[in-house]
Amino acid sequence: MRVISYSNAINETFRQMMQADPRVFLIGQGVTSPWYVGSTTHGLLDDFGPERVIDTPVSENAITGAAVGAALAGMRPVVVHPRLDFMYYAFDPIANHAAPWYYMFGGQHSVPLTIWGIINRGGEQAAQHSQAIQAFFAHLPGLKVVMPSTPYDAKGLLVSAIRDPNPVVFIDDRWLYEFQGEVPESLYEIPIGKGTVKMSGDDVTLIATSYMVHEALKAAETVKREGISVEVIDPRSLKPFDDKLLFSSVEKTRRLIIADGGWKTYGIAAEMAALVAETGIVSTLKSPVLRITLPDMPAPASAPLELKYYKREPELISAIRKIMGK
C-alpha cells in the first residue's frame, strides 16, 4: 500500500490495464490535456502512442459512437468526457446502442465499453459546465453506473469497469482529484454493486455519493462531539445499487439522510428514498427521510452564489440535528 492521490490512482490504473491488455485504449476530447483531465493521463501518450491514447476533435457523439463500434469489434475502449454536461450529445450511441445491445442480441453480443465522465462543478463555470447528471445514466436499462469517492475505490472500480463485458459509466468529481489515500500497487477489482460503510453509527444513517462522502464524514465527526452517532455509507455503485446495505443500516438507526451532488427532483436521492419507502422499514422510521441535494436550478456563475448552491458539511450538520430533533 502507498498513499497516492485520486488522480494518480486513475493514471496508474490506465497504465497497468493498458500494459496488461492490448485491447484497452483511451479516446476522447482533451485526453492528453492537463486542463481537461488533470494528471489522470499524464505520460500515457509517450508510453503507448497516439494509436492507444487518441485525442479527438470536439464531437462527443462521433467519439462515443466510434468507441461503441470498437467495443463491438472486440476492443475495450475508455471514452473520456471531460465535462459531463456535453455527454448529452452522446446520448444516442449510449442509450440507443451501447446500453440495449446485450439485450437486443439475446446475450450473444456485448459492448465492453467504459464511459468515463468528469463532473466539473465549481470554479464559477456556471450552468453549462457544472452539471452532475448521474441520475440520467442510472435510469437507462443496460448501463452500470459507478461513482467512487476515494483513490482506492477509483482504481478498483475502474479495473472492474474496463473488464466488464457490458457498458459501465464511470463518473469522477473533479473535486476529488487531490484527495489522498492508500492504494495497492497491483491491479484489483471492487465488485460493481457493492457499497461500503465508511463510519459505523447507531443514531442516523447518512448515505452519500462521490465527493459528498467526504463532507458526510466531516459532518459525522462534528456531531459526534454532540453525542450523535452517524453511520456513513458510500454506495460506490449507483446501478446496480447495494440496497441490502442501506436497508440493514436504516433498520438499525431508524433515521435516514441522503446526500447526492445532483438535483433533487427525480434524482438519485429520490430513488434511494423510494427504495426504503417500498419496504416495511419505512413504518419504523423515527423521522421523515431527508434529502440533501442541489436545488432544482442551474449552477450560478458567481463564487458567492456557489457557496449557497453547493451543499457541504454545514448543510449536513443541520440535517443531522434536524432529524435528531435538536
User: pLDDT tens across 127-150, in order?
Assistant: 999 999 999 999 999 999 999 999
* Domains of the chain, residue spans: 2-183, 196-323
180-183 and 196-199 strand pairing: unpaired
Closest CA to 83 of 143, 53, 125, 124: 125
- Rounded to the nearest integer, the mean pLDDT of the chain is 96
Q: What is the pLDDT of residues 56-88, one digit of tens each?
A: 999 999 999 999 999 999 999 999 999 999 999
Cell of 36: 481537461
Check whether 121 has a pLDDT greater than 90: no
CATH of 196-323, picked from 3.40.50.920, 3.30.1490.20, 3.40.1390.10, 3.50.7.10, is 3.40.50.920
Q: What is the pLDDT of residues 17-61, one digit of tens each?
A: 999 999 999 999 999 888 789 899 999 999 999 999 999 999 999
Longest Cα separation, the chain: 59
Indicate the pLDDT class of residue 326, thresholds 50, 70 and 90: confident
Indicate the pLDDT class of residue 283, thresholds 50, 70 and 90: very high
Q: How much is the pLDDT for 185? A: 97
Check whether 172 has a pLDDT greater than 90: yes
Query: Is position 139 annotated as part of the catalytic site?
Result: no
On whether the CB atoms of residues 38 and 177 are closer than 8 A, the answer is yes
Return all residues near 72 (Cβ < 8 A) that are at least 6 apart: 101, 109, 111
On whether the CB atoms of residues 135 and 274 are closer than 8 A, the answer is no
Check whether 123 has a pLDDT greater than 90: no
Closest CA to 90 of 152, 28, 48: 28
Closest CA to 324 of 203, 200, 199, 201: 203
Q: How much is the pLDDT for 33? A: 86
Matching CATH topology for 2-183 and 196-323? yes
Average pLDDT value for residue range 182-210:
98
pTM over 0.75: yes
Average pLDDT value for residue range 180-185:
98
Cell of 253: 438507526
Q: How much is the pLDDT for 125? A: 87
Q: What is the pLDDT of residues 251-275, one digit of tens each?
A: 999 999 999 999 999 999 999 999 9
Q: How much is the pLDDT for 135? A: 97
Per the listing, cell 463555470 goes with 125
Q: Which CATH superfamily is domain 2-183 in?
A: Thiamin diphosphate (ThDP)-binding fold, Pyr/PP domains (3.40.50.970)
**Whole-Å CA distances, 87 to 77, 276, 310:** 16, 30, 22
Q: How much is the pLDDT for 94? A: 98
Q: Which of 109, 129, 139, 214 is catalytic?
A: 129
Average pLDDT value for residue range 162-175:
97
Average pLDDT value for residue range 242-255:
98
Exposure string for 73-109, b = 16+ CB within 10 A, e = fewer: eebbbbbbbbbbbbbebbbebbbebbbbbbeeeeeee
Closest CA to 172 of 135, 140, 211, 199: 211
